[in-house]
C-alpha cells in the first residue's frame, strides 16, 4: 500500500496541511487520526475542493470539512470485493482498519487493479460529429468535451479501468487526431488503447468490422458520450451466465406530457388525464456482444447496432436486455452537458 502513512494527519491540521499530505502521498486522500492511530475521518481531494468553494479557509482546521463516517475495509478483504465496493460507492480509496479502529493501511484502486483484471475487450465509439451540440463540437469531438474538468471519454475510460478492464479500442473519425494525441497508447492510464479509424462514418456498429480479429470472448461496445456508474462487470457476467449472444443495457425512461390529455370519440370527451407520465424501456447505449454476433458484421460497411440486433435475432441467435440503474446521462444536448457538469463532483468524486 504505497505511501499510505504520508496520508495521516491530526484533527488539528489545517486544510493547507491536509492538502499537502494529499499531494505528498499521491493517494488523493488524507486520513484524520487520533493519537492512538484510530481513524476519526477522511478528507478526499473532492472534499477539499468542496470545502474551499464553501468558504473554508486554508488556515482553518479540517475537522469540519472531513467525512466522519467513511467507508472502511478490514485486513484480509479480497481485492475483488474491495473493487466492487469502490465501484458501487464511487470511491478510489478505502482505509483499512483493525476491529479496534486503528488504521493499518489504505486500499487504492490503482493497486487493486493489479490484483483484479478483466480479459474482455472494450470498444468505445468516439467518431461522431455531435451535431446537436454544434456550438461546442465544431472543433472538438463530443467525447473530448470537458465535464468535471476532464474529457468525457477520460471519465469513461477510468470507470472501466476501475472495474478491471484494460484492453480498449477507440473507434475514431471526426477530429480523430485530438483523441489520439490525448490518449496515445493508454499507458498513462495503465491500459492498452488501439484505434479503429473510420474513413467514412460506419454507424454505431460498423466500426466493429474493422477489428483485425474476432475476440474469443464477448466484448463490450459503448457510446463515447455516456457518463454512467453502471456495473460493467456485472453486465458481462450476466451475459455469459445467460448463454445469450447479444445483450443490450436498458433503463427506465419517463416523459410527462405538460398538458391535459383528452380521449374523445366523435367530439364527445370520454376522459381527461392531467399531465400524464408515460414510462418506456430505452436503449442505454451499452452492449455485450459474443463472437457469434460479431461474425455478422460486414467489413467496412455502415451498420447501426439496432440493425445488428435485428440481424442476430433473424439469424436465430439469442438477444436479451439487461436493466441498469444508478447514474446515467447521455451528453446529447446542451442541457445534458450543463447538467452533467453540475452533477459531476457528487457522482464521480
What is the tens place of the pLDDT at every residue in 203-241? 999 999 999 999 999 999 999 999 999 989 889 999 999
pLDDT given at position 178? 96
Domain assignment of residue 28, yes or no:
yes
Residue 349 — very low, low, confident or very high, per pLDDT cuts 50/70/90? Answer: low
Instruction: Report how many domains make up the chain.
Output: 2
Output the pTM of the full model.
0.70
CA–CA separation, 143 and 136 (whole Å): 11
Is the per-residue pLDDT at 116 higher than 70? no
Which residues form the domain of 183? 117-340
Which of 2, 5, 188, 275 is flagged as catalytic? Answer: 275
Residue partners of 184: CB distance under 8 A and separation at least 6: 193
pLDDT of residue 164: 86
Residue with cell 479503429: 196
In a domain, 345, yes or no: no
In the chain the beta strands, taken as DSSP E runs, fall at 8-9, 29-33, 39-44, 93-97, 103-108, 118-125, 146-147, 150-151, 165-172, 192-197, 219-223, 226-228, 246-256, 260-265, 268-274, 277-289, 319-323, 328-330
Q: Which of 71, 92, 113 is the last residue of a domain?
A: 113
Residues 146, 284, single domain; the answer is yes
Sign, CA dihedral 295-297-298-299, equals negative
263 in active site: no
Domain end marker among 113, 142, 164? 113
Residue 99: pLDDT over 80: yes
| Residue 241, SS3 per DSSP | helix
Nearest to 345 by CA among 35, 50, 33, 37: 50
| Rounded Cα distance, 169 and 157, in Å | 11
Task: For 9-42, give one letter per residue: b (16+ CB within 10 A) or e.
Answer: beeebbbebbbebbeebebbbbbbbeeeeebbbb
User: Does 106 share its domain with 129?
Assistant: no
Express each pLDDT in 132-181 by its tens digit: 887 788 889 999 999 999 999 999 999 998 888 999 999 999 999 999 99
Asked if residue 270 and residue 126 are part of one domain, the reply reads: yes
Amino acid at each position: 500500500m504505497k505511501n499510505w502513512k504520508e496520508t495521516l494527519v491530526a484533527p488539528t491540521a489545517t486544510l493547507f496541511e491536509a492538502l499537502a499530505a494529499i499531494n505528498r502521498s499521491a493517494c488523493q486522500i488524507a486520513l484524520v487520526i487520533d493519537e492512538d492511530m484510530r481513524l476519526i475521518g477522511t478528507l478526499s481531494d473532492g472534499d477539499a475542493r468542496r470545502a474551499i468553494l464553501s468558504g473554508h479557509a486554508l488556515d482553518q482546521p479540517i475537522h469540519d470539512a472531513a467525512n466522519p463516517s467513511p467507508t472502511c475495509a478490514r485486513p484480509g478483504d479480497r481485492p475483488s470485493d474491495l473493487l466492487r465496493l469502490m465501484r458501487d460507492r464511487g470511491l478510489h480509496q478505502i482505509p483499512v482498519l483493525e476491529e479496534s479502529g486503528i488504521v493499518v493501511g489504505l486500499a487504492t484502486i490503482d493497486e487493486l487493479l493489479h490484483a483484479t483484471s478483466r480479459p474482455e475487450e472494450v470498444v468505445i465509439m468516439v467518431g461522431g460529429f455531435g451535431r446537436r451540440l454544434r456550438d461546442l463540437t465544431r472543433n472538438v469531438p463530443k467525447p473530448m468535451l470537458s465535464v468535471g474538468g476532464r474529457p468525457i471519454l477520460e471519465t469513461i475510460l477510468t470507470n472501466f479501468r476501475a472495474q478491471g478492464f484494460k484492453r480498449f479500442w477507440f473507434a475514431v473519425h471526426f477530429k480523430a487526431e485530438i483523441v489520439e494525441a490525448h490518449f496515445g497508447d493508454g499507458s498513462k492510464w495503465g491500459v492498452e488503447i488501439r484505434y479503429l479509424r473510420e474513413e467514412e462514418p460506419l454507424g454505431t456498429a460498423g466500426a466493429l468490422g474493422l477489428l483485425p480479429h474476432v475476440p474469443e470472448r464477448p466484448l463490450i461496445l459503448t457510446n463515447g458520450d455516456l457518463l454512467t456508474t453502471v456495473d460493467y462487470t456485472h453486465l458481462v457476467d450476466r451475459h455469459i451466465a445467460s448463454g445469450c449472444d447479444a445483450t443490450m443495457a436498458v433503463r427506465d425512461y419517463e416523459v410527462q406530457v405538460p398538458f391535459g390529455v383528452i380521449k374523445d370519440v366523435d367530439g364527445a370527451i370520454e376522459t381527461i388525464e392531467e399531465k400524464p407520465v408515460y414510462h418506456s424501456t430505452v436503449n442505454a447505449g451499452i452492449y455485450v456482444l459474443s463472437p457469434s454476433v460479431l461474425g455478422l458484421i460486414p467489413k467496412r460497411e455502415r451498420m447501426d447496432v439496432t440493425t445488428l440486433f435485428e440481424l442476430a435475432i433473424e439469424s436465430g441467435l439469442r438477444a436479451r436486455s439487461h436493466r441498469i440503474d444508478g447514474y446515467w446521462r447521455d451528453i446529447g444536448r446542451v442541457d445534458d452537458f450543463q447538467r452533467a457538469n453540475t452533477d459531476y463532483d457528487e457522482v464521480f468524486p
